[in-house]
Amino acid sequence: MARLLLIEDDLTIRTPLVRALRERGHAVAAASTAMTGLRDALDDRPDLVVLDLGLPDLDGRELLRMLRAVSTVPVIVATARDDETEIVRVLDAGADDYVVKPFTAAQLDARVRAVLRRGPGGPADQDPTLVIGGLRIDPRSRQVSVDGGPVELTPREFDLLRHLATRVGEVVTKRELLTEVWQIPYGGADKTVDVHLSWLRRKLGESAQQPRYLHTVRGVGVRLVAPGADG
Ligand code: CA
């Protein structure tokens, strides 16, 4: 059971979804505008927010940015468009996952459970700090440093780096990354992975041409190794 806040203006979506999620054992509150949603998210401190991007008073992406500035509550975005660029943008703006309309309550419920498993209190809490060369990844505080200097990562970049670090020395395919990091077992585009890898590289102070930790294995995937350990 989770305490959910659903921010959705469309009554024909909101009403049946609230009912279906309650039937699945969740405590569900709903808001129909961005501003009431933001207030409820801060006042009621739900376990997770489901956010419609098309709201009457404010763009959902704007609301996501405002919420992220003050809260780490997990957010699942509901988007009307199955648009790669749009999805990458909201994920990078701090959304933890997304569903494309029309979606079923069962599908959303599965995403909610997956996101909450990853969150604080989940298995990551017991994970030890990963140290690979000068790279330190602390799953509990979700902090990363390279050669002692802190690296600011988005939640998605952190999950990507952590997944690669748990498989250190092995080639990890983009398919696996889409499944394990993005929770997209079918479909999804390699480009999503490529874009995030390139941002991650930049933040770690390297490039695909001059890799230190993240080595592309052409046509296969990517491998994380300590600098100098790659021969
Ligand atoms: Ca809407």
Query: How many domains does the chain divide into?
Result: 2
Q: 113 with 127, same domain?
A: no
CATH at 207: 1.10.10.10
In a domain, residue 230? The reply is no
Look at residue 117 in the predicted model and tell me its pLDDT: 85
User: Ligand 1 centre from 35 Cα, in Å?
Assistant: 14
DSSP for 41-106, written as a single string: HHHH--SEEEEES--SSS-HHHHHHHHHHH----EEEEES---HHHHHHHHHTT-SEEEESS--HH
Q: What is the pLDDT of residues 146-167, one digit of tens each?
A: 999 999 999 899 999 999 998 8
Look at residue 122 in the predicted model and tell me its pLDDT: 43
Rounded to the nearest angstrom, the gap between the alpha carbon of residue 156 and the centroid of all alpha carbons in its chain is 5
User: Ligand 1 centre from 52 Cα, in Å?
Assistant: 6
Q: 92 with 141, same domain?
A: no
Q: 30 with 100, same domain?
A: yes
User: Ligand 1 centre from 144 Cα, in Å?
Assistant: 37
Domain that holds residue 190: 123-224
Look at residue 121 in the predicted model and tell me its pLDDT: 45
pLDDT above 90 covers a percentage of the chain that reads 61
Q: What is the pLDDT of residues 29-51, one digit of tens each?
A: 999 999 999 999 998 889 999 99
For residue 98, what are the contacts with CB-CB under 8 A and spacing of at least 6?
Answer: 76, 77, 78, 79, 87, 90, 91
In a domain, residue 231? The reply is no
Residue finishing a domain among 81, 98, 117: 117
Q: 103 with 137, same domain?
A: no
User: Ligand 1 centre from 6 Cα, in Å?
Assistant: 12
Judged against a pLDDT cut of 50, whether residue 124 lies above it is answered with no
Look at residue 95 in the predicted model and tell me its pLDDT: 92
Q: 88 with 15, same domain?
A: yes
In a domain, residue 133? The reply is yes
Q: 108 with 146, same domain?
A: no
Q: Which two tokens stand for residue 123?
A: 């298995």
Q: 111 with 127, same domain?
A: no
Q: 87 with 170, same domain?
A: no
Q: 54 with 8, same domain?
A: yes
User: Ligand 1 centre from 92 Cα, in Å?
Assistant: 21
In a domain, residue 154? The reply is yes
User: Ligand 1 centre from 76 Cα, in Å?
Assistant: 14
